[in-house]
Amino acid sequence: MAKIKYIEFSGKEHVVEVKTGMSVMEGAVKNLIPGIDADCGGACACATCHVYVDKAWLEKLEPMQEMEKTMLDFAEGLESNSRLSCQIKVSDALDGLVVRTPKSQH
Amino acid sequence: MSESVVIVGAGQAAAQTVASLRAEGFAGAITVIGDEPYLPYQRPPLSKAYLAGELALDRLFIKPREFYDDAKCTLILDTTVTRIDRELHRVETHDNRSIAYDALVLATGSRVRHLTTNGEDLPGVRYLRGIADVEAMQSYLKPGVKLVIIGAGYIGLEVAAVAKKRGLTVTVLEMAPRVMARTVSEQLSAFYEAEHRKAGVVIHTGTRVDKIGVVDGTSFVVETSAGRVPADIVIAGVGILPNMELAEAAGLKVANGIVVDEFTRTSDPKIYAVGDCADLPCAHSVTNRARLESVQNAIDQAKHAAAAICGKPKPYTEVPWFWSDQYDLKLQIAGLSGPQDQLVLRGDPAARSFAVFRLRAAAIVAVEAVNAAPEYMMGRRLIAARAKVAPERLADRAVPMKEMGG
Ligand SMILES: Cc1cc2nc3c(=O)[nH]c(=O)nc-3n(C[C@H](O)[C@H](O)[C@H](O)COP(=O)(O)OP(=O)(O)OC[C@H]3O[C@@H](n4cnc5c(N)ncnc54)[C@H](O)[C@@H]3O)c2cc1C
C-alpha cells in the first residue's frame, strides 16, 4: 500500500492509497483521477498514461524497460522525468510518490 | 440537445461513451443496459494475463462502480435489450421494461462465430469472448492437459502462448496456409509460426477440421485433413460476427455490421452505433469501409458519438491500431493492410525486433511491428500524414525512425 499524490495539469491535487501490485495508472483510474486515459489498459501499447515523476522519486523507481523507453520517446511533451504510469508497480517503497499529468492528456 | 441517452451494451465502447458524454458537458440522463452481469470490462486480458491467472477479476473493469455513480449513469446489467421502437423512441428489455431515449447508442459488440457441420455446432468446442468463458477454462490450464486450438488468429495464438507457459500440450489447427493470414504479412506469419514451434506448440496450417469425436464426455478426438488429434479441451477462435440483429429488426441499415457514417450515425438520425458492431467509412481501408474489432476503434468511435450527440460532430479519421502479446513478443499494428501493398522489412526477425511497413501508391499505409516501438509509434504518425518515404530509407535501421518524417 502506498499513498500517491497525483497532480493534474491544472494544479489540482489528489492523494489516494494504492494497493501493492497495482500500477500507478490503475491507481488513477480506480480513483477517478483525470488525465490518465490508459486506452490499452496497461499493455504498454498506447502511451496515453504518460506522467511526470517528481524528481526526488525518479531513481527510487524500477528502471524502465526498453519498450517503455521507446514508447515514451514518441509521447507528446517528453521530459527527463517522463514515465508511463502503467509500467510503475506500486509497493510500500513508493509511499509518498508524486506524479503530474501532462497537458496533452487533459 | 438530447435530454437522455440510452446505450445498449456495457462493454469497452459503452464505458467510453459515458466518460466522453460527461467530458463533452452532456448534462442529461445516461442509461447503460448490458446483458452480462459485470461492470464494463476489458477483453484483451482474457486471452493474456487474465487467462494466465496473473490478474484478479476486478482489474479487468474499465472503471470502478463509483465512476458510474459520479457520472449519474444508471447501469442496468444482466439485462438484454430485445427491441427498439423507433417511433416512440424507446427500447424494450427481456424483462418487459421500456426505457425512453432522445439519443440511442448501439454498442452491442460482437459474438464468436461457431464451428458447425451441417448447421450443427461441433461438440465439445469452447469459445473465448467473455469472463464466463475464461472461468470455464481455468480448471484445464494445468500441466499435461491436451489442448487443441482451432484457428490461428490473434486469440488462438495468444491462448496457445499462455497454455504452453502453463505446461499444456498444445496443437493449433489452421485452415489457411499460414497463421494470422487475415491480418499480417507472410514475414510475420513465418516469424510467429517459428516462435510457437520453438516454444513447443504443434501447428498444422492448411488443415481442415472435419469432425470432433466425443470419446467419453471428457475427452475428444479432432479429425482433420492432417490426421486425428486427441484433446482434453478444444478451443476455437475462428472469427466474430457483429451483433446487429437488434438494429436490423428495427429497420436500420446493416451490411458488414450496423452501417454508420463518419459521425457514427446510423440511418436513423437519433441512433448511433460504435465499436465492434459498426460498419464504418474508413479511408484507411482499400474498400473505404471497415468493421474494426479493436479497443482503439471502440474508444475512438465512442468519443465521436459523444461529440455528435453534444452537437459537436467531427469526422472519424483515426488510424486504426491494435496489439497482441504472445510470449515476450509485443506485436503492435497500425493502419490496415491491402492485398497489393508493397512490403518493406526493417530490422532483422532473427534479432526478434523488426517491422514490416506496407506502402500503397508510395505512401505508408500500415506497419506491423514486433518488439519495435519506434517503428510502431512513428509509423502511426506517418500513416496519419500519408507520408511517402523511399523504401530503401525506410528499410535502413541506421536512419532513426524519428528522421523519417518529411
Ligand atoms: C479474448 C479477446 C482478446 C482481445 N484482445 C485484443 C487486443 O489485444 N487488442 C485490441 O485492440 N482488441 C482486442 N480484443 C477486441 C476488443 O476487446 C473489442 O474490439 C472491444 O471489446 C469492442 O468493444 P465493444 O464495446 O464494441 O464490444 P464489447 O466489449 O463486446 O461489448 C458489447 C457488450 O454488449 C452486450 N450486448 C450485445 N447485445 C446486447 C443487447 N441486445 N442487450 C444488452 N447487451 C447487449 C454484449 O454482451 C457485450 O457485453 C480482444 C477481444 C477478445 C474477445
List, in order of start, the domains of chain B with CATH numbers. 4-111+240-309 (3.50.50.60), 125-236 (3.50.50.60), 328-403 (3.30.390.30)
The predicted-structure confidence for B383-398, as pLDDT tens digits, reads as follows: 999 999 999 999 999 9
Nearest residue of chain B to residue A31 (CA atoms) = B64
Mean pLDDT of A77-101: 96
pLDDT at B162: 98
Cβ proximity of A82 and A52 under 8 Å: yes
Contact across the interface for B44 and A29, Cβ inside 8 Å: no
Centre of ligand 1 from the C-alpha of residue B129, in Å: 7
- Which of B44, B59, B330 is the closest to A67 by Cβ? B330
pLDDT at B39: 98
Rounded (10°) CA dihedral B52, A2, A13, A65? -50
pLDDT at B91: 98
The predicted-structure confidence for A41-76, as pLDDT tens digits, reads as follows: 998 888 899 999 999 999 999 999 989 999 999 988
Centre of ligand 1 from the C-alpha of residue B246, in Å: 16
Sort strands B233-236 and B125-127 into parallel, antiparallel or unpaired: parallel
Residue corresponding to grid cell 536512419: B399
pLDDT at B406: 59
Query: Nearest CA to CA, how far is A34 from chain B (Å)?
Result: 10
Residue B348: is its pLDDT beyond 80? yes
B116-120 own/partner pairs: CB under 8 Å, 24+ apart = B117/B210, B117/B211
Instruction: Please report, as a single letter, which amino acid is at residue B103.
Output: A
Residue B1: is its pLDDT beyond 70? no
Instruction: Please report, as a single letter, which amino acid is at residue B80.
Output: T
In our burial notation (b when 16+ CB lie closer than 10 A, e otherwise), range B350-385 reads eeebbbbbbbbeeebbbbbbbbbbbbbbbbbbbbee
pLDDT at B218: 83
Q: In angstroms, what is the C-alpha Rg of chain A?
A: 12
C-beta of B242 in contact with ligand 1 (< 6 A): no
- Whether B296 and chain A come into contact, CB under 8 Å, resolves to yes
If one residue of B51, B128, B295 were mutated to test the ligand 1 pocket, choosing by the most ligand atoms within 8 A of its CB, it would be: B295
> Whole-number mean pLDDT of chain B?
96
Of B107-121, B188-202, B390-404, the least confident: B107-121
Which residue lies with its CA nearest to atom 30 of ligand 1? Answer: B109
CA distance B108 to B271: 13
Query: Nearest CA to CA, how far is B92 from chain A (Å)?
Result: 31
pLDDT at B120: 83
pLDDT at B118: 77
ipTM: 0.92
pLDDT at B124: 87
The predicted-structure confidence for B297-341, as pLDDT tens digits, reads as follows: 999 999 999 999 999 999 999 999 999 999 999 999 999 999 999
Cβ proximity of A89 and A37 under 8 Å: no
Residue corresponding to grid cell 438520425: B269
Mean pLDDT of B81-90: 98
C-beta of B108 in contact with ligand 1 (< 6 A): yes
> Whole-number mean pLDDT of chain A?
93
3-state secondary structure chain B: CCCEEEEECCCHHHHHHHHHHHHCCCCCEEEEECCCCCCCECCHHHHCCCCCCCCCHHHCECCCHHHHHHCCEEEECCCCEEEEECCCCEEEECCCCEEECCEEEECCCEEECCCEECCEECCCEEECCCHHHHHHHHHHCCCCCEEEEECCCHHHHHHHHHHHHCCCEEEEECCCCCCCCCCCCHHHHHHHHHHHHHHCCEEECCCCEEEEEECCCCCEEEEECCEEEEECEEEECCCEEECCHHHHHCCCCECCCEECCCCCECCCCCEEECHHHEEEECCCCCCCEECCCCHHHHHHHHHHHHHHHCCCCCCCCCCCEEEEEECCEEEEEEECCCCCCEEEEEEEHHHCEEEEEEEECCEEEEEEEECCHHHHHHHHHHHHCCCECCHHHHHCCCCCHHHCCC
Mean pLDDT of B195-209: 97
Mean pLDDT of A19-27: 95
Mean pLDDT of B214-239: 93
pLDDT at A14: 96
The predicted-structure confidence for B6-63, as pLDDT tens digits, reads as follows: 999 999 999 999 999 999 999 999 999 999 999 999 999 999 999 999 999 999 999 9
- Which of B59, B299, B330 is the closest to A26 by Cβ? B59
Percent of chain B clearing pLDDT 90 (strictly above): 96
Residue B121: is its pLDDT beyond 90? no
pLDDT at B405: 80
pLDDT at B30: 98
Residue corresponding to grid cell 473505404: B288
C-beta of B81 in contact with ligand 1 (< 6 A): yes
pLDDT band per the 50, 70, 90 thresholds, residue B217:
confident
For residues B248 and A67, the model is more confident at B248
Contact across the interface for A71 and B321, Cβ inside 8 Å: no
| Domain A2-105 class, CATH top level | alpha beta
Residue A104: is its pLDDT beyond 90? no
Percent of chain A clearing pLDDT 90 (strictly above): 81
Cβ proximity of B354 and A68 under 8 Å: no
- Whether A7 and chain B come into contact, CB under 8 Å, resolves to no
- Whether B70 and chain A come into contact, CB under 8 Å, resolves to yes
pTM over 0.90? The answer is: yes
B309-314 own/partner pairs: CB under 8 Å, 24+ apart = B309/B2, B309/B5, B309/B21, B309/B24, B309/B26, B309/B103, B309/B105, B309/B272, B310/B1, B310/B21, B310/B24, B310/B25, B310/B26, B311/B1, B312/B24, B313/B263, B314/B263
CA distance B241 to B372: 31
Query: Nearest CA to CA, how far is B114 from chain A (Å)?
Result: 27
Residue corresponding to grid cell 490518465: A36
